[in-house]
Amino acid sequence: MISYSRGRWAPFWVSLTFAAVFILLRIFYRLVFGSFSWQAIGQAATLALPFAIVIVVCGFLSALIDVRKLLPSMSALRYGRSIGTALAIALSSYPTLIHQVKLLSTARTLRGIRSRSAFLVPLLEHTIERSVALAAAMDLRGFGAGKPSSPSGESAIELKNFSLGYDGKQVLNSITLSIPAGEITVLTGQTGSGKTAILESIAGLSQHFHNGHVDGTLTVGTLDRNATPPRLTAGLIGYVAQDVRLGFAAATAREELEFGMRVSGHTRSEASARAEELISQFSLTGFADQPIEQLSAGEATRVAIASALALRPRILLLDEPLADLDSDARRELVNFLSELHARDQLTIVMAEHHIHELHSLAPRWLSVDSGELNEGLWNAGEVVLPPRALPVVGTDEAFSVTDVSVAYGDRTLFSEVSLSLHVGEVLAITGPNGVGKSSLLSALTTSSDAGELLRLVPENVSSLFVAETLEEELAKADLLAGHKNSGLTAMTFWSILAIEESPELLSVHPRDLSTGTQAALAIALQLSWKPQVILVDEPTRGLDEIARTAMAEVLRCVAETGTAVIFASHDRAFVSDLGCRVLSLDKGELVPIEVDA
């Protein structure tokens, strides 16, 4: 649809076309609004030449001068720096934006929406989310502070009766905590319990970026955090946000590292030298110059950590770094953090659900519950119900497909995959990240002759949402699926979530719902078509333990209605707890396997 790189001389060719059209138009006007003669044609063309030449010269010059290369120097100007930086952000974020446009238009097709303008609103919503994440990342790197002050060696963190509230809503309740320098601390707890708020408060974002109301004291090293904005501690604190991709400004990992250095006030040569250093130190060489949206979750997280450590901070804060990773990538990242800690004696504080892999770091465990802090691990055991058995599988075949193949460029992801499924059956497809599970699901979705039989729920579920409130979203789904005002989608939604209908929740913006509820909503939206099979890509992405159990229950409920479920997941524990049929995608083939947690 839109190509980003069009070759160096493209502007010149464009200008030639413009010049030709310009001359033709002049001749046309002369003939239509003047008198007709062959002489007039020649005269009109000759008189049009000077301006046509100006057009071509402009095109030639813009082909000759690569503005993209000039832009980074603009942010070093004394005047016009802001606009230069804005233009640089616009240019470098363009490819990822185009990627997002493609995702959203795929989602539009998946939901059966025909109107083209319908996805402009979700695109704007995504743009706002990205702007806020990017702005926070820039502040954390010292944007607008000039040269980052050389940090003091002090990296202990001290909270005394620290409370935080947003718009009158209390998020953290009188927390007292002392983290000595060089220690690893892990915050555990349910989604929304306040783990992120603690990290953001230590980083200064809560107080100075999100304009939260604070009480009590928070000291980082010798600094009063409540009085020191993030930009002044860029050299002391490195921050890795939860959704790292949202905060990326650049088109490649190398440019992202350079952008971070430039934002903190370093010169172009310093920035590229440090980026080179980080690329080799963090083993990013293999993908440093690839389009950043094509990196795997593990690779993207490594880039974000490298970028957070670019200014050699003494404190590293990580918000759920393991969330999107498969088990191999998790182990790799934990080993990496352990080496980093051993070498630099960093103070590390992280929030994480996946505690299993973290035991090897021997961290100090803390648990956060409704804004209160306690020593020790958060125990979900009391609230998590044991999984119920899946419903009995029907005898009728719901779906079968033979010989599906997908190639990606010159690489074959899988060839001649065959698969059949019974009514009410649940099937898991496992395999590490990047093996082609998502491609298999979308290939299956389009493989069926009767397209209405299968419905796909993509991995980034929020891309399916087009309405302003949950209520409108559910009504819209009824409308799209051709049973307007039936309330069917709403009924499906509440029953798979297994909760009472809540008027309070109905008025919430779909993007503001919790991750687990968003996933359930996406499934309900796609169920409104009454498909024989529903395909779900990574249903447990970003879910904590309670939400994961709830998701298992959602899938069970769906199967109970007779709809067969195929889901792709790298979450082995989830798959094994569910106790369904499992196929593993391995070297382009689907093989049945047994999974133990």
Partner 1 sequence: MIARLNFKNVFVIAASLLAVCAFAWPLFATALPQHAQAAVPVVVFALVPALIVVISLLLDGAVSSSKTLALLGLLAAVGAAVRIASTGVGGFEAVFIILILGGRAYGARFGFLLGMLTIALSSILWGGFGPWTAFQMFAAGWVGAGAGLIPGRITGAADKAARRREIIWLIAYGVLASYLFGALMNLWFWPFGVGPETSISYLASGSLPDNLARFGIYTLVTSTLTWDTVRALTTGIGLALIGVPALKALRRAKL
Restricted to residues 95-154, the positions that interact with partner 1 (CB under 8 A) are: 97-98, 101, 115, 117-118, 120-121, 123-125, 127-128, 130-132, 134-136, 138-139, 143-144
- Per DSSP bridges, beta strands 589-592 and 581-586 are antiparallel
Q: Assign residue 181 a region (left: φ > 0; alpha: ψ between -120 and 50; beta: otherwise).
A: beta
Indicate the residue among 71 and 453 with the shorter CB distance to partner 1.
71
| Binder among 215, 468, 577, 586 for partner 1 (CB under 8 A) | 468
Q: Is 312 in the site for partner 1 (CB under 8 A)?
A: no
**Least distance (Å) between residue 284 CB and partner 1:** 24
Residue 393 is classified by DSSP as: P
**Least distance (Å) between residue 69 CB and partner 1:** 11
As a whole number of angstroms, the distance between CA 423 and CA 217 comes to 59
Q: What track of x and - describes contact with partner 1 for positions 194 through 213 (by CB under 8 A)?
A: -----------------x--
Indicate the residue among 1 and 342 with the shorter CB distance to partner 1.
1
Q: Is 15 in the site for partner 1 (CB under 8 A)?
A: yes
| Binder among 85, 193, 518, 540 for partner 1 (CB under 8 A) | 85
| Binder among 20, 21, 24, 81 for partner 1 (CB under 8 A) | 81
Q: Which residues contact 132 (CB under 8 A, 6 or more apart)?
A: none
Indicate the residue among 123 and 355 with the shorter CB distance to partner 1.
123
As a whole number of angstroms, the distance between CA 221 and CA 294 comes to 38
Indicate the residue among 60 and 365 with the shorter CB distance to partner 1.
60
Q: What track of x and - describes contact with partner 1 for positions 509 through 538 (by CB under 8 A)?
A: ------------------------------
**Least distance (Å) between residue 31 CB and partner 1:** 9
Q: Quick one: three-class SS letters along 42-64?
A: HHHHHHHHHHHHHHHHHHHHHHH
Residue 450: how many other CB atoms lie within 10 Å: 8
**Least distance (Å) between residue 305 CB and partner 1:** 21
**Least distance (Å) between residue 23 CB and partner 1:** 10
Q: Is 90 in the site for partner 1 (CB under 8 A)?
A: yes
Q: Which residues contact 41 (CB under 8 A, 6 or more apart)?
A: 27, 30, 31
Q: Is 29 in the site for partner 1 (CB under 8 A)?
A: yes
Candidates 75-83, 152-160, 439-447, 475-483; binding stretch for partner 1 (CB under 8 A): 75-83
Indicate the residue among 144 and 216 with the shorter CB distance to partner 1.
144
| Binder among 14, 156, 214, 355 for partner 1 (CB under 8 A) | 14
Indicate the residue among 115 and 222 with the shorter CB distance to partner 1.
115
Candidates 77-85, 294-302, 330-338, 359-367; binding stretch for partner 1 (CB under 8 A): 77-85
Q: How many residues bind partner 1 (CB under 8 A)?
A: 76
Chain-centroid distance, C-alpha 262 = 24
Buried-state track 136-171, b at ≥16 Cβ within 10 A, e below 16:
bbbbbbbbebeebeebeebbbbbbeebbbbeeeeeb
User: Which residues, numbered 331-370, are part of the site for partner 1 (CB under 8 A)?
Assistant: none
SS3 of residue 459 by DSSP: coil
Q: Is 36 in the site for partner 1 (CB under 8 A)?
A: no
Candidates 6-14, 251-259, 266-274, 487-495; binding stretch for partner 1 (CB under 8 A): 6-14
What are φ and ψ of residue 205, in 5° steps?
Answer: -70, -40
Q: Is 181 in the site for partner 1 (CB under 8 A)?
A: no
From 202, 180, 184, 163, select the one nearest 373 (Cα to Cα): 163
Candidates 87-95, 442-450, 564-572, 576-584; binding stretch for partner 1 (CB under 8 A): 87-95
Query: Can you say whether the dihedral through the CA atoms of 284, 3, 538, 553 is positive or negative?
Result: positive
Q: What track of x and - describes contact with partner 1 for positions 244 through 283 (by CB under 8 A)?
A: -----x----------------------------------
**Least distance (Å) between residue 475 CB and partner 1:** 14
CA distances 356 to 49, 108, 130, 159, 573, Å, are: 74, 38, 31, 27, 11
Indicate the residue among 63 and 380 with the shorter CB distance to partner 1.
63
Q: Is 53 in the site for partner 1 (CB under 8 A)?
A: no
Indicate the residue among 123 and 443 with the shorter CB distance to partner 1.
123
Residue 308 is classified by DSSP as: H
Instruction: Extract the runs of DSSP E, i.e. beta strands, from 221-314.
Output: 223-224, 237-240
Candidates 31-39, 146-154, 292-300, 305-313; binding stretch for partner 1 (CB under 8 A): 31-39
Orientation of helix 488-497 relative to helix 470-480, angle to 10° = 120
Indicate the residue among 166 and 328 with the shorter CB distance to partner 1.
166
User: Which residues, numbered 211-230, are part of the site for partner 1 (CB under 8 A)?
Assistant: 211
**Least distance (Å) between residue 98 CB and partner 1:** 6
As a whole number of angstroms, the distance between CA 595 and CA 287 comes to 32
Candidates 1-9, 268-276, 371-379, 514-522; binding stretch for partner 1 (CB under 8 A): 1-9
**Least distance (Å) between residue 84 CB and partner 1:** 9
| Binder among 40, 380, 479, 546 for partner 1 (CB under 8 A) | 40
User: Which residues, numbered 55-74, are part of the site for partner 1 (CB under 8 A)?
Assistant: 55, 58-59, 61-63, 67-68
As a whole number of angstroms, the distance between CA 527 and CA 457 comes to 10
| Binder among 83, 385, 491, 591 for partner 1 (CB under 8 A) | 83
Indicate the residue among 167 and 500 with the shorter CB distance to partner 1.
167
DSSP assignment of 461-493, as one string? GGGG--SSSHHHHHHHHHHHTT-TT--HHHHHH
Residue 331: how many other CB atoms lie within 10 Å: 14
As a whole number of angstroms, the distance between CA 477 and CA 483 comes to 9
CB distance 327 to 354 below 8 Å: no
SS3 of residue 125 by DSSP: helix
Report the half-sphere exposure of 557 (CA within 13 A, side-chain side). Answer: 19
